[in-house]
Structure 1
């Protein structure tokens, strides 16, 4: 009986390259997500419920943002806590020292700096992490949180690779993204922003 399998599953090298591409795409979003989340909402730390509607005294704009514990704040803390846990486990598995994130989510600027440090470390060890299957569950959780934060904040994804060539319109306009699939796992998406042609690879039949 024929079964549908991803094209890259037939070629182990292609599957490995796609895994690395997916990994790097997600960790590249970390500074963007944490800075945007922290800028929009100040995380309430030990603040009583009646204080959530009060304004902080001070003259600056950010000093007078109402404190809140809304979705953006929860998203940022969830990404931060999961990233921190992932770094601890990955560092232990690899025997390499990773950035030691503070236990509490810092302000937006510091969160961005820590996220860049985490991004750099993870990018450097991506090929080592690939061999540790027991990291997959925590990694999948982290990546889902990143995608959710991007979607809820309506942020444009950051990409280290230039857009690919579109053989329909002749422009380099094909953007590679990773979206949530029906089962919650990431799904590859390749769409040209010039002519809107979908270049996402389709599954092939295997006997």
Structure 2
């Protein structure tokens, strides 16, 4: 019941933020949603006891899928070099440089905690990129670069965050293990995604071939 109430509250906040965005045009809707979330968390002590794995599966994955579905595939392939450089090298550099800067700015904060803080902030949010880009006239190549980078930078950000937390807890850090985990996640994720999509496409085509035109199948075909 608590989860149901939390979902209804979040849906209500989304509706309120969308209405507010029509009147507060200078602020992107994503920032309004963050502000409303902070306000309700502080004033009403609102929190959701949800495992991070479920959060990634139920919220992050659908948002990334929906954003990636509408992304121009030709532009993504054309800008593959700069996109991967920003999604991997830039995220790690931001984590390292930003971690030292935060530690210098707040001396009481341990270096490992500073790295963890910057690591979780370094990946670009694709939803925020889309909402902000609607209000700023960016060149198409810049918009495609930032949007494409935001779709694939979560792996590098999560690896950086994972090992920053591990360094805080254990006091040990292995760059070779971190690099190995990143390569493993990238390769396995790519292969698993390709296999899953191939299976879904085959199933959809087979159902069409036997004239199984169910309403849910029609909805699925749009994806």
TM-score (norm 2): 0.25
Task: Report the structure, 1 or 2, having the larger helix content.
Answer: 2
Task: Report the structure, 1 or 2, having the larger strand content.
Answer: 1
